[in-house]
Structure 1
Amino acid sequence: MTTKKPPVPVALLMLIGIIAISFSAIFIKWSSAPASVQAMYRLLFTSLLMAPFVRPYSGALVKLRLNDWLLLAASGFMLALHFLLWMGSLEFTSVASSTMIMALEPVFIMIGSFLLYKERSSVSAVAGLGVAIIGVVFIGWGDIGLSQDNLKGDLLSIFGTAAVAVHLMIGKKLVARMPSYLYSLIVFIIAGAVFALYNLATGTAFFDYPPKEWGIFALLAVVPTVFGHILFNWLLQYTSATTVSMNILGEPVGASILAYLLLGERLTGLQWGGGVLVLGGLACYLYVGARIATREEERQRSYMQEAQVLPENAS
């Protein structure tokens, strides 16, 4: 991990990012436009904001191979599928339920990493994610008591979370050989194009929306995307990925508080209990991951120190 310091304390920037992404579900709930239209303009406006700063990465752009473009297309498609399913889930279930379920992203990544790369996790990490899964069952059980639509929303959120996990796993492979900024911009453009084709195929209106909706589209691009996700990506140069990933825990908490204050949403005791299990299990998982990462960093540092000592002794 780099020792550079950002112009603003990391903790403050993390708080700003968590608050920003917590507003995502609120803006979606406020909008009456179809989820596919909200997502399309969110991605389009974000791409327009990013495009003026892409020139330094033009050299990397021309070096992309056909296989890279195919992976970028797959990543963009999965990101579009994530937005379509997760944003659609908010039409049927509460903000708290949907965002708490979406926090299960590490579960799907762990399963995918094991199936594709044979990466194994510690028993403690698996136990933590197991507790989180039990929490999701509690949330779903509580939603069944409210209505069948709530359960439908929970299922859409689960599938949307699986889609974004695939998107992130593809991205992990691509950013190892291309700038993350360029990767994000290309994927946003591809996902936006997927939504444009989807809306065209389904006959969904592109422009017939009141000024309020256009304001929400812009807010979705600026607040949760620029001051949320892009800010977190920028913070990776100043702090560890494990620290940045703590926003997974912050979003459902922040979104639930905002939904209570701004939307009047209330949860049952069973749902709150499930939420506590989800966040507690994920906290355990991230804590174990941080310990493993620290040990690996210390092992590499020790190895480098020994490598420097050996030539001196030989001389």
Structure 2
Amino acid sequence: MNNSKPFPIPLWIILLIGIIAISFSSIFIRWSDAPVSVMAMYRLYFTNLFMIPFVMKYWSEIKTLSKSDWFYLSLSGLLLGLHFLLWMGSLRFTSVANSTAIVALEPIFVLIGSFLFFKIRTNILSVVGMFIAVLGAALIGWGDFGVSSEAFFGDILALLGAIAVALHMLIGKLLLRKMSNYVYSFFVFLTAAFSLHIYNLILGYSFFNYASIDWGIFIILAIVPTVFGHLLFNWLLKYMNATTVSMSILGEPLGAALLAYFLLNEHITIQQAIAGVILLFGVWLFIKFDEKDRSKI
């Protein structure tokens, strides 16, 4: 733990709340017929709206941001917007279980980017985990291609979404060395929402002509998986080590698959289940030994 003060609620309960919250994301998306880019836009705009009352506390920090900081904040936001567009789009074509499992490859793409851009190396067991995870993803794609080319296309979108969010995370690692998580999150979310706003304008999507259930889903996407999911994980980094919080990424595919089974009547084949287990085991192996290796630096 990074903070010696005892916390009134067991931290594992808060972590579990975060995992359940992000697991609901794909379910909410499936419950709306609105374009995914519109859902993503309002999800981020509403999240920013909830954050506004607190942003003034960081005004002195915001005034010190350089042109370079604003450039990389914008780039990180564009990549986050692209991630939501691709990943949420994948749920229109492939299963919840497959989409969330493939997006769990994110830390492996972060490793590849860290090596290519920052020359950061890792140990052999992490590399083994990476190859196992990639094998699992390939098996998922191969199985879906056998089911339908549409499902395979959804897997590709999820894979591209994982790459986009990994690049977003790499930029975030640099920016968070010089600014608070709140400032970073607020302006990245705002940039991502605005980029999706422009995308929706270009495609001519309606901004207001949606049923009340859709508006409810826009708001709940901001509250549940974003505030009680991603922002909660960022807050937990103050009290828990990064390895434990990083492992939470493995809970989403399992939680989302179970929720999809009960709420969306989605079923998975034996091959998909085996491939998903292989992928998640590879990601677990990678995170476990990559974090252990970095703790020695």
Query: Taking structure 2 as the reference length, what is the TM-score of the superposition?
Result: 0.98
State the alpha-carbon separation in 1 of the partners of residues 266 and 46 from structure 2: 29
Contact 1:129 1:282 in 2 (8 A): yes
Write the distance in 2 (CA, Å) between the matches of 1:20 and 1:14. 10
Q: Which AA in structure 2 matches 1:135? A: G
Superposition deviation, residue 42 in structure 1: 0.1
**Residue 41 of structure 2 corresponds to residue 43 of structure 1:** no
Q: Note the residue ranges of structure 2 that are not aligned, 5 or more in a row.
A: none
Q: Write the deviation string for residues 163-184 of structure 1: whole angstroms up to 9, x where unpaired.
A: 0001011011001101110110
Alignment check: 8 A CA contact 1:5 1:238 kept: no
- What is residue 92 of structure 2 aligned with on the other side? 91
- 5+ residue gaps, structure 1: 297-315
Deviations 1:97-119 (A, max 9, x none): 00000000011101100000000
Find the aligned partners of 2:275 and 2:61 in 1 and give their Cα distance: 45
Task: Tell me the equivalent position of 1:217.
Answer: 218
Name segments (4+ residues, structure 1) moved above 2 Å.
1-7, 289-296
Q: Which residue of 2 aligns with 1:118?
A: 119
Q: Is the 8 A contact 1:72 1:186 kept in 2?
A: yes
Question: Equivalents in 1 of 2:79, 2:104: separation in Å?
Answer: 17
Please state how far the C-alpha of 1:291 moved relative to its aligned partner. 2.6
Question: What TM-score does the superposition give when structure 1 sets the normalisation length?
Answer: 0.92
C-alpha distance in 2 between matches for 1:294 and 1:188: 30
Q: Deviation at 1:7?
A: 2.9
Give distance in 2, aligned partners of 1:238 and 1:109: 23
Q: Which of 280-289 and 174-183 deviates more?
A: 280-289
Find out whether 1:58 has 2:54 as its counterpart. no
Per-residue deviation at 1:279?
A: 1.0
SS in 1 for 2:79: helix
Aligned to 1:152: 153
Distance 1:11 1:295 in 2: 25
Aligned ranges 1:1-315 → 2 under 5 Å? 1-296=2-297
Shift of residue 5 of structure 1?
Answer: 3.2
- Indicate if the aligned counterparts of 2:108 and 2:286 stay in contact, CA closer than 8 A: no
Map Cα deviations across residues 51-74 of structure 1 (whole Å, 9 max, x no partner): 101122111100000000000110
Q: Give the C-alpha shift of residue 222 in structure 1.
A: 0.3
The residue identity in structure 2 corresponding to 1:240 is N
- Contact 1:139–1:275 (CA<8 Å) still a contact in 2? yes
1:132-170 Cα offsets, whole Å, 9 max, x none, are 110001111111121110000000000011000010110
Structure showing greater radius of gyration is 1
